[in-house]
Structure 1
Amino acid sequence: MATTERDRAADELVARRESLRDAALARLEVTAVAPRSSGDRGTREALSRCRVDLAAHIDALAAALHATGAEQLREYCAFTAVFLEALGVPRRSLGAALDALSESIGEQLDPALSALAQDTLAAGRERLCASPLVTPAALAAIPEAPRAASEAASAAEAIELSAARIAPMSVALSYMRRPEDALAAGAQRGRCLDDARRHLAQLAAAVDQGSPELFSAYAAWAQSLLVQHGLDPAELVGYLDALGDVLALTLPEHLAERPRQCLAAALDRLTAVHAEAPSFVRPEAPLGAVACGYLDALLARDRRRAVRVIREAIDAGMPVKDIYAHVLQPCQYEVGRRWQLRQLSIAGEHYCTAVTQMILSQLYPLVVNTDRAGLRLVATAVDGNLHEIGARFVADFFEMAGWDTFYLGASTPAEHVIEEVVHRKADVLAISAALGDQLASVREVITATRRDDRCRHVVILVGGRPFCVVHDLWRQLGADGSALSAEEAVRTADQILAARSA
């Protein structure tokens, strides 16, 4: 019976939203909490915001009655207070608005329904006395806007300067709009704040490159990752929507438009219905039967069978280069695709990648070409990039082409890359990046290489997911070329070197 009465109370609140809002606003005007006159622009804006806030309070109360009741509204009130305080609205103003709303509910609703609504509202009102309002502490006290942000030369710079304010503010607004997410996050709210900082870093990188599609691709990847951790896919959509509103409030007007365009494109992608991308592993493809057998072994977590599939292919006389190109590489792409579609867990993806890395090590003695080309390659995953297998594929393909290769592994700082390029007398430097926020490190390596007189002759190739998303990104960063596969990287390097010597 109680659930039915809560639903009835919620429905009554929604039905009477406008009259409850106007009655509460009238009370606030009388007590001077809201302006009494609407004769100037500032007063009109304050009145308009007050109306919007009161309508939001009513909707939040109705949603709480439909759901878990008091606990959800307590979270709503807490995060609303945090967000409004960041805008300079004191907590007492929110308390007065809730009190005025409670009195209006008492006048307009049936006594039994009114009591349910008022009891739930009182629990939310009581939460405003808590200290801190929310946890972790980084969400409870949002920093002031840095003065330098208003003087930023670009939107990307403004985001970076204001990130310490924008991140908690956007999380607070997101939780204010979806308090059920705050309840579900529990002690993991600090992780949500860390995610917000990462989202901002990726957004700043996309804005800096003028590439909304770069952030859209990241958002799709991030949503898959969050779902793997058990989160509702709609949570990231709600967060990005809140982030757009926070950017409009915190960034100078002339700098806010481009970031919001990136967010709009990402939201379109996350909410659109997409056809499932085709598999990278197909029986009719070259060595398709071998690739299907290897993939089946990986997905079954059968390392011994996976190794046996590759050994049998080698024993049958299949060239190592073809096994790389038509078995290992497409299977690794397919593992990533299945993870993206949530058909494979993070642990499963890590297992499959580890098996492929082990097999690459076992095949390396067969990779070395006795016919040497007299050319040298340094390959690395840029600082911050822990996904090293792509760069490893590139290094091995160059080795098979007769190059002397020096593979530096994951997350190598720029200064160490330059040292190796000089020490090894490299002809080509291959740089791999996995995410947009690593592009600054890519640019750093490229710039340092160009400035060093000892490296003026070095051909710079870049690759990785950002360069697949934005096809001329390599040119924007100052590289000499890019490639969509390891095999193509060798051809690209040969073409550039041939053109230089012509």
Structure 2
Amino acid sequence: MYTNQQNAGERLKMIAEQLAEEVTLRQYERQPDLRQRFGPSGIARTRQDSLYHLRYLAQSVSLESPLLFIHYIIWLKVLLMQYKITAEDLRINLELMKDAITAEVKPPDREVILSYLEMGMYHMRGEESVPSFLQPDRPYYREAEQYLGLLLDGQRRQAAEFIMRLYDDGIPVQDIYLHLFQQSQYEIGRLWQLGRITVAQEHFCTACTQSIISQLYPRWIQAQSGRKRLVATGVGEELHEIGLRMLTDFFEMEGWNTFYLGSNMPAESLIRYLKEQPADLLAVSVTMTFHVSEVVRLIGMIRSHGELDGLKIMVGGMPFNIDRDLWKKVGADGYAPDAGTALEVAEQLIPGTRRREN
């Protein structure tokens, strides 16, 4: 049974493309200079951007989580600067979106949607800064800074050698994952958002880290006894997989048998796999907010199969980090912000899973 907010969010999803078209036409009428500023492709890009805004808004409303849309608008304002889209351009776009929703959506859905939109518009007024994820007071700050510098300089081999030396010098592999790989990936994302690196550089750095992770495997991986089984997957057309891979490795280090299925796994195929290869824990990751509905759908389908009643489901990813109560709304059993915390959550969900030191 849908709540009023869920109904409103679903209604907005249904008409999002129509609204995006309307907003784009109105914005070019109001700002004719956009044609000169952005050229022949500008209209298509504005339409696509408007559709993204509406999808984020709809998902935020459906999940009863204003934080998701507020965070998106703050992030977006910084991101668009690198594309010469000003805060005023964004403000006009959102104002026109408000007008279109007012005209096309009837009460009570209209009031619910507009309240979320207005919260996002309010929070875009201030000046936003995006602090670095590499801070001097954090563990292995200098090592993380040096590793990131090697990646950004395109020195893949030197970066790999640097990590291997740290491991051989006794830095635990878990610390390398959390404090070098994870923090450098966050920082790479920040640099891309600010327009300081290109998409190609971001992809190169991520590919390097994935390669180095693979090179580390022979140094720590060992045959597992199969006490517990973890299945890990992503939903939607997600391209960000490195966080879920790191989580899977952490569980492998802890003695679990792990099965990483990658992203964009069809729900029906996953359920069939879980029936054929029973697991104790399913880890589901999502990066983009408008894919959270896929998590809701997936968990609902799993819960409808009695054979999977004993399966615990843990979720993670950016939307859940933004709204720390979101995991409850999607029907999961738990949530973890990172791989280290995921082991602690797994212990709570399935007692007796942590290794004990002699």
TM over 0.5: yes
Name the counterpart of 2:103: 249
Aligned residues: CA RMSD: 2.3
Q: 1:290 aligns with which of 143, 150, 153?
A: 143
Provide the C-alpha distance between the structure 1 equivalents of 2:313 and 2:173, rounded to a whole number of angstroms.
26
Provide the C-alpha distance between the structure 2 equivalents of 1:434 and 1:307, rounded to a whole number of angstroms.
27
Name the counterpart of 2:85: 231
Name the counterpart of 2:311: 458
Provide the C-alpha distance between the structure 2 equivalents of 1:390 and 1:190, rounded to a whole number of angstroms.
32
Provide the C-alpha distance between the structure 2 equivalents of 1:370 and 1:322, rounded to a whole number of angstroms.
22
Provide the C-alpha distance between the structure 1 equivalents of 2:157 and 2:265, rounded to a whole number of angstroms.
32
The letter of the residue matching 2:321 is C
Cα shift readout 1:453-480 (whole Å, capped 9, x = no counterpart): 2211111000111001111000011000
Residue 315 in 1 paired to residue 168 in 2?
yes
Q: Work out which of the two has the higher radius of gyration on C-alpha atoms and give 1 or 2.
A: 1
Distance apart, 1:242 and its partner CA: 1.1
Provide the C-alpha distance between the structure 2 equivalents of 1:356 and 1:153, rounded to a whole number of angstroms.
39
Name the counterpart of 2:181: 328
Cα shift readout 1:282-336 (whole Å, capped 9, x = no counterpart): 3443222321210111222221221121011122122212211221111111212
Residue 492 in 1 paired to residue 345 in 2?
yes
Extract structure 1 runs of 4+ deviating beyond 4 A: none
Give matches, 1:199-214, under 5 Å: 199-214=53-68
Q: 1:303 to 1:269 in 2, by over 3 A?
A: farther
Secondary structure of 1:462's counterpart equals: strand
Secondary structure of 2:195's counterpart equals: coil
TM-score w.r.t. the length of structure 1 is 0.65
Provide the C-alpha distance between the structure 1 equivalents of 2:151 and 2:138, rounded to a whole number of angstroms.
19
Provide the C-alpha distance between the structure 2 equivalents of 1:475 and 1:201, rounded to a whole number of angstroms.
21
Q: Where in structure 1 are there 5+ consecutive unaligned residues?
A: 1-151
Residue 178 in 1 paired to residue 57 in 2?
no
Equivalent pairs: percent with the same residue?
A: 36
**Greater helix proportion:** 1
The letter of the residue matching 2:339 is A
The letter of the residue matching 1:385 is E
Provide the C-alpha distance between the structure 2 equivalents of 1:214 and 1:153, rounded to a whole number of angstroms.
15
Secondary structure of 2:124's counterpart equals: helix
The letter of the residue matching 1:294 is Y
Name the counterpart of 2:208: 355
The letter of the residue matching 2:213 is L
Name the counterpart of 1:36: none
Residue 264 in 1 paired to residue 109 in 2?
no
Name the counterpart of 1:65: none
Cα shift readout 1:319-370 (whole Å, capped 9, x = no counterpart): 2122112211111112122223333332222221111111112122334245
Name the counterpart of 1:412: 265
Confirm or deny: 8 A CA contact 2:82 2:194 kept in the other structure.
no
Give matches, 1:368-387, under 5 Å: 368-370=221-223, 372=225, 374-387=227-240
Distance apart, 1:373 and its partner CA: 5.9
Larger RCO: 1 or 2 (CA < 8 Å, sep 6+)? 2
The letter of the residue matching 1:252 is K
Bigger Cα displacement from structure 2, 433-442 vs 382-391: 382-391
Q: 1:443 to 1:499 in 2, by over 3 A?
A: farther
Q: 1:190 to 1:208 in 2, by over 3 A?
A: same
Name the counterpart of 1:123: none
Distance apart, 1:264 and its partner CA: 1.8
Matched positions, count: 349
Provide the C-alpha distance between the structure 2 equivalents of 1:219 and 1:412, rounded to a whole number of angstroms.
29
Confirm or deny: 8 A CA contact 1:213 1:265 kept in the other structure.
no
Residue 281 in 1 paired to residue 131 in 2?
no
Provide the C-alpha distance between the structure 2 equivalents of 1:292 and 1:360, rounded to a whole number of angstroms.
18
Provide the C-alpha distance between the structure 2 equivalents of 1:301 and 1:457, rounded to a whole number of angstroms.
47
Residue 442 in 1 paired to residue 291 in 2?
no
Confirm or deny: 8 A CA contact 2:6 2:62 kept in the other structure.
no
Confirm or deny: 8 A CA contact 1:383 1:414 kept in the other structure.
no
